Each structure stands twice: as C-alpha cells, then as structure tokens.
Structure 1
C-alpha cells in the first residue's frame, strides 16, 4: 500500500500529515500528487469525500516551500465556487503548512475589503478566492496575477454550472501561460472537456471512480409522495420529512436537508424548529458571519439539522454526517451525487432519503440514468396517518355548510321576529296595497279618522304597516279625491 512518505513530499509537510493522523493517501491523492509534483497539469475526477482538496494542497505547499511572495503578487491561486469551500481549502492549507513559513489570503464575499487588501499588500504565497471577489480586487488595482505559478480550479463543473465561465476565462487570461493548472471535480460533463482542452496543456487525467458514481456505503431511498390537495403539498411534504426523521430515530445523529430554493430553505428550517427539531438554514443570501456560525455549530455537533441550498452541496467536509434528506429532487442529476456525498465520508456508512412529488419524476429518472441504478422506493412513514388526520372531506363539508348555516341563522332570526310580532303584521304589505286599491275604486270618503284609528287605517281591520294605530286621515284618501278636495 502506498504511503505519503512514498510521494516525495516536503519533510515538513509529511510531519504535518502525520500529526493530522493520516498515513496512506486516498486513490485520488495517490494518483494526482506525483504528476503535480512533476509540474504537469492535472485533471482529477473523483466522487465527493475522496480527499480531492489534499490532492492539490499537498503538492502546492511542497512546490511553494522555496521562494518568497512579493506584495500584491500571489504565487499560487485556488478558485472555489462558494465561500464555504474556499474557507475549507484555507483550513486545509493551515493544517498542512504549519511547519512552513507560507502565507495565505482568503478572498470571499461578506468580508471587509480593507482586511483583505492588508493581507495582499504584505504578499501572499497562496491566494484562495471565489471568482467574483478576486476580480473585484483586480479591478480596484489591488492585485497582480502575473506571478502565479500554480492555478487550481476546485469543483470545476460546479464553477461552470454556476455561470462562472466568463470569469474563469478572464482569470486564466490574467495569469501567465507558463502556469501549472490543476482541475479537480466530482463530475466531468462533456462541455468541460472544451474548457480543459483550452486551458490545460497535455494534462495527466486521474480518474479513480466512474463519473457520477455514488458511494456503495451510502444506503439510498426515495419516497414517492402525492399530496391530498394542491394547496396542501408544501405542508404535507414537510410532515413527510418529519416522519422520515422520526422513523430513523437515534440512528439519525445529524443530517443535512437539501432544498432547491432559498425561500424553501428558510421555510423548512422554521418548520423543523417549530416542531422541536434543532435546525438552522444556510444559503447564499445569508450574512457570511451567520453562515460561518451555523456551519461551525453543525461541525461541532451543537446543531443537529442543517437545512441547505446547493451552496453547501459541494466540497464541504463534515466527516460524521449520518443522513442526507433531499426535501426536493435536484433539478440537475449531478447535484444528487454531490448532495448525498455529504454522508458516508471517510469510509463511514451513510443514508440518503429523497422525497419525490409527481412533477419531479422526470428528474428522478435522470438521476437514476446518471448513477446507473434504480433508487429503492420506500414507504411513506406517515401515509396512513396523514390520510386520516388530513382528510379534506371534513373541511370541505364544513365549508359547504357555512352558507346553509348562515341561511338557517337568518331564517331563525326572521322566525323569531315573526313570533314576536302579531300574525297580521306579517302580511301587512300585501293587505295594505289591496286596501288602498279598494278605497280608490269605491271612493269611500266617509271613513272617519276615528274609524281609521280603531281599525288600523283600512276596512279590513288590518293596520297600515309602520304607522301603528295613529294613521293620519289623508292616507285613506285616493289621489283623485285629494285633488278634488284641493
């Protein structure tokens, strides 16, 4: 078996590796480190969790052990797609270079430009950055890339997926043509071949696993979920997630819950907290200090559930993640490989469970085609319970009963009013009209006001509605009679 001592690394680097507790390199490290030390371009392809970061950090530190950086002119450059991955690379650099006098700078968003400028002005051996922030410093005249000797693109396919192609091409154009270039990624889509053919010179291709494979030590499953009603899908889906977590019991020591959208990340995290689960969100819109605090809590074990967007799917190294829950089926099949690669790391067993709604079945088929295996279907743990507790019929019936209830209420109110009033008042309008018509026809002007008062204002003994027993005399007159009297 190959050991790190067989790889011609700097003795001080080997000492740091031993202190970190490592003896033997992983397959990607054993394949990539020798050609990198020889100064060759390297194209490394391996699934997540196999140690790609050390594959370029260790030879880079060895190559930079001699020499000194000049102000604003870094000697090496590492490009990462996300802030978290860049911070992780910086941690690896600190771990393996502690016996060497090498300096580094971390250029990521959410951190003061002034602090970063101070580091760059002193001169750094290793510059670790996200493309956007790197170009910001360059455009401000704070950075010169003409002395870069080693350039690394980590998670290359993700860089391209996130739309960094123009930035990457521009950064390559700012670095010397004689630089050494290292590309590392978990997947290698056909369009990336064009990029590597453009920017890499006769690269040594190191592929230790079939493209887009998932670890055999990760148990996978998918719940085929259909909501009882469209407007209840999100609520019922979150209930399924809680049921899956509860079904795992104590085996689920911690987990990452992946959502496709940032807004869903916040909603799912709040929902889990509401029901007593220790959860916190992480996505690109959060402040960097908050993202760092959340990740640190998850790594240290003080936070059990990390609800994340794909910003956390690539390259984050938390060795002891027991479960990954895909609340949404990822839109890109490759992202599934990266997501579930957060569990089952360093030879541990892991479990990945996904929730699939009918509209995501096509994406599920794409994933199964990519990984060349069918993901086992598992039973919805709350299906029967949900059907019983969330039956829409009672609510529909209740809503349907609202109008009749209001109608009956009004009817009862009318009946009560009718009971309080004399029976004759209930039909007063029709009788009054009839009485007025008869008075007009007969021209009976002899009715006295006293008769009107005693009889309620008409011959039939019916009262005129609204006037009680005190009906004025003129009301009993017809229009013609009143005109003649005038």
Structure 2
C-alpha cells in the first residue's frame, strides 16, 4: 500500500502529515500528488469526502517552499465556490504548512476589504478566494495575477451551478499561460468538460470511482410523504422530520438537515428549537461572523443539528457527522451526492434520510438514475397519526361548519338576541309592505306563485321582508350551499314583474 513517504513530498510537509495522524493517502491523493509535483496539469474527478483538498494543498506547499512572494502578486491561487469551502482550504494550509514559511490570504465576502488589502500588500504565497471577491480586489487595482505559478479550481461543478463559469474564464485570462492548473470536480458536466479542454494542457486525468457515485458506507433511505391538506403541508412535514430524528435516537451524534430554500432553513431551525432540539441555521443571507460561529460550534460539538442550504453542501468538513436529513429532495441530482457526502467520510459509516413529497418525485427519480440504484423506502413514522391531537379533532368534528355567507346585519342581530323557533313552511302570515319599501319589495302575486310550489313561495316571501325579526337566509337550490336573501330578492322582482 502506498504511503505518503513514497510520494516525494517535502520532509517538513511529511512531518505535518504525520502530526495530523495520517499515514496512507486516499486513491485521489495517490493519483494526483505525483503528477502535480512534476508540474503537470491535473484533472481530478472524485466523489465528495475522498480527500481532494489535500490532493492539491500538499504538492502546492512542496513546490512553493522555495521562493518568495512579492507585494500584490500572489504566487498561487485557489478558487472556491463558497466562503465555507475557502475557509476549509485555508485551514488545510495551516495544518500542512506549519513547518514551512509560507504566507496566505483569504479573500471572501463578509470580511473587511481593509484587512484583506493589508495582507495582499505584504505579499502572499497562497491566495485562497471566491471568484466574486477576487475580481472586486482586481478591479480596485489592489491585486495582480501575472505572478501566478499554480492555479487551482476546486469543486468546479458547484461553480457551474452557482453561475461562476464566466468569472472563472475571466480569471483564467488574467493569469499567465505558463501556469500549472489543478482542476477538481465531483462530476463532469459538458460545460466543465469544455473549460478543461480550453484551459488545461495535456492534463493527467485522475478519476476515482464512477462519476456522481455515493459512498458505500452511507445507508440511504427515503420517506414518501403526502400531506393531509395543502395548508398543513409544512407543519406535517416538520412533524415527520422530528419523528425521524427521534427514531434514530442515540445513534445521532450530530446531523445536517438540508433544505432547498433559505426561508425553510430558518423555519425548520426555529421549529426544532421550539421543540427542544439543539439546532441552528446556516445559509448565504446570514452574516459571515454568525456563519463562522455556527460552523465552529458544530465542529466542536457544542451544536448538535445544523440546518443548512446547499451553501454548506460543499466545504463542510466535519469527519464525524453521523446523519444527513434531506428535508427536500434537491432540484439538481448532483447536489444529492454532495449533501449526503457530509456523512460517511474517511471510511466511517453514516446514514442519509430524505423526505419526498409528491411534487419531488421526479427529482427523486433523477437522483436514483444518477446514482444508479433504488433508494430504500421507509414507512412514514407519523403516517397513522392525525395532524392535530385527538381531542382537538373530536371537538372540531362535533361542531357544524359555520355559514360564511350571512349579511352583517344578520350576524349582529343573531349575536344580540336568541334565534326564534323554526316556523312551518306551509303557514304563511300575510305581510303589508310599507310605502317606502313598496317599490323595492313587491309582494308575490298569484301568477308568480304558479312558477313554484307553495313551500318555495312562502319561504321566499319570508326572506324578502315578511319576517325581518327571523333573520334567516334560506337555501336556494342551484346557487351553491347557501345564498343570502338580499341576492334572491333581485331574482324574485324580475319574476314578479
């Protein structure tokens, strides 16, 4: 079996690797490091959690150990799609370069430009950045990319999903043609293939396992969920999530819950905290300092459940994550691979459970086609349970549904005095219309009564003005469940005329 000592790395780098507790490289590391040390371009394709970050940090540190950086002209550049991934790469450099005198700078959003400018002015060997913030510094005249010797693009497929490909192409055009390029991705979409053909020169292709596969150490399952009512979907879905968490019990050391929408991230986190779960949200709209505190707490173990958008699907390196819950099926099948890749890392066992509603079934089919396996179905843990308590349902079920079509005057009259006893339909008391109402409420003539039964004419007569103290609106067949008397009046006027 290959060891790190067999890879011609700098002795100081090997010392740092040993202190970190590693001895044998992963397959992607064993394939990419020798080619990178030779100065060749590398195209690395491997699933999440296989050690791609060390595949480029270790040879970069070894190659950059000799030489010095100049002000505003970094010697190497690492592009990452998210702040979290950039911060993780920076931590890797700190770990493996602690015995080598190399400087680094981290350019990400949510941090003061002044501090970043000061770091660049001193000169850095390694520049780690997100594309947007890097171009901001370049356009302000604070940065030159003409001294780049090694350029790394990490999680290129995520760059594509986030719309960074035009920025990546522009950044490539600003770097020297003689640079070495290390390009890593979990999947190879056609657009990614085009970029590699354009900007990489005879790369060493290192492909580990089939593209977009999931780790065999991850147990996968899906719960098919259908809400009892559309307006209860969110509440019932959160009930299912809590039941799944409770069902795993002590098996959950810590967990990541992924949602498709940022609003759902906040709602789910708030709901879990309300029910006593140790949970916190993280997504792109939060302040960077808050995101950092939340991630640090999750890594240190003081936070048990992290509710996240896909901003955390890449770059979240917590080796001991035991569970991943997909509150939604991701819209892009590739994101499923990266989400569940947060668990089962470095050969550990993990579990991923997905909740699938009817509108997500097509997305689930796409996921199963991508990973080329059918995901096991779990029984809905709250399928037989009502959405509300039995006492609540019993009380509400016993009450008739109140009419919503009464006039305001009727409602006020009913609330001010008790309802009169029902009057027999056949018995009709003649009513004399007042002069001021005679034009509006014409009495029913004998000819008009011939159009319907005596029952109908008598009930209509009462509803028009015969018994104003009754305040009852009678049902009219063909006009819905219930119709107020003032609407029927217009019909009867025309019929009477």
TM-score with structure 2 length normalisation? 0.82
TM-superposed CA distance for 1:386, in Å, is 3.1
Show structure 1 runs of 5+ residues with no match: 419-426, 434-486
Distance change >3 Å, CA 287–CA 404, structure 1 → 2: closer
| Alpha-carbon distance in structure 2 between the residues aligned to 1:64 and 1:404 | 79
Between structures 1 and 2, the one with greater helix share: 1
Distance change >3 Å, CA 414–CA 13, structure 1 → 2: closer
TM-superposed CA distance for 1:383, in Å, is 1.1
Q: Tell me which residue corresponds to 2:482.
A: none
Distance change >3 Å, CA 338–CA 394, structure 1 → 2: farther
TM-superposed CA distance for 1:412, in Å, is 8.8
Describe the superposition over 1:407-426 as per-residue Cα deviations: whole angstroms up to 9, x where unpaired: 899669645899xxxxxxxx
Q: Tell me which residue corresponds to 1:383.
A: 383
Q: Tell me which residue corresponds to 2:214.
A: 214
Q: Tell me which residue corresponds to 2:332.
A: 332
Distance change >3 Å, CA 8–CA 415, structure 1 → 2: closer
Q: Tell me which residue corresponds to 1:20.
A: 20
TM-superposed CA distance for 1:36, in Å, is 0.4
- SS of alignment partner, residue 163 of structure 1: coil
CA contact (8 A) 1:48 1:315 kept: no
Distance change >3 Å, CA 399–CA 6, structure 1 → 2: farther
- SS of alignment partner, residue 384 of structure 1: coil
2:52 is the alignment partner of 1:52: yes
Q: Tell me which residue corresponds to 2:401.
A: 400
2:255 is the alignment partner of 1:252: no
Q: How does 1:333-482 map to 2 (within 5 A)?
A: 333-386=333-386, 389=389, 395=396, 398=399, 400-401=401-402, 414=417
Q: Tell me which residue corresponds to 1:127.
A: 127
Describe the superposition over 1:110-147 as per-residue Cα deviations: whole angstroms up to 9, x where unpaired: 00000000000000000000000000000000000000
CA contact (8 A) 2:82 2:315 kept: no
Distance change >3 Å, CA 287–CA 411, structure 1 → 2: closer
Q: Tell me which residue corresponds to 1:172.
A: 172
Q: How does 1:125-204 map to 2 (within 5 A)?
A: 125-204=125-204
| Alpha-carbon distance in structure 2 between the residues aligned to 1:404 and 1:37 | 80
Distance change >3 Å, CA 409–CA 112, structure 1 → 2: closer
2:94 is the alignment partner of 1:91: no
| Alpha-carbon distance in structure 2 between the residues aligned to 1:279 and 1:13 | 38
Distance change >3 Å, CA 174–CA 398, structure 1 → 2: farther
| Alpha-carbon distance in structure 1 between the residues aligned to 2:418 and 2:369 | 70
Describe the superposition over 1:63-84 as per-residue Cα deviations: whole angstroms up to 9, x where unpaired: 0000000000000000000000
| Alpha-carbon distance in structure 1 between the residues aligned to 2:396 and 2:317 | 47
Q: Tell me which residue corresponds to 2:227.
A: 227
CA contact (8 A) 2:28 2:207 kept: yes
Q: Tell me which residue corresponds to 1:306.
A: 306
TM-score with structure 1 length normalisation? 0.83
Describe the superposition over 1:203-222 as per-residue Cα deviations: whole angstroms up to 9, x where unpaired: 10001111000011100000
| Alpha-carbon distance in structure 2 between the residues aligned to 1:291 and 1:227 | 33
Distance change >3 Å, CA 396–CA 151, structure 1 → 2: farther
| Alpha-carbon distance in structure 2 between the residues aligned to 1:320 and 1:119 | 34
| Alpha-carbon distance in structure 2 between the residues aligned to 1:394 and 1:248 | 34
Q: Tell me which residue corresponds to 1:437.
A: none
Show structure 2 runs of 5+ residues with no match: 422-428, 436-497
CA contact (8 A) 1:110 1:287 kept: yes
Distance change >3 Å, CA 371–CA 415, structure 1 → 2: closer
| Alpha-carbon distance in structure 1 between the residues aligned to 2:388 and 2:264 | 26
CA contact (8 A) 2:257 2:307 kept: yes
TM-superposed CA distance for 1:401, in Å, is 3.6
- SS of alignment partner, residue 377 of structure 1: strand
Query: Aligned residue pairs: how many?
Result: 425
TM-superposed CA distance for 1:23, in Å, is 0.5
| Alpha-carbon distance in structure 1 between the residues aligned to 2:15 and 2:230 | 60
CA contact (8 A) 2:86 2:315 kept: no
| Alpha-carbon distance in structure 1 between the residues aligned to 2:399 and 2:79 | 59
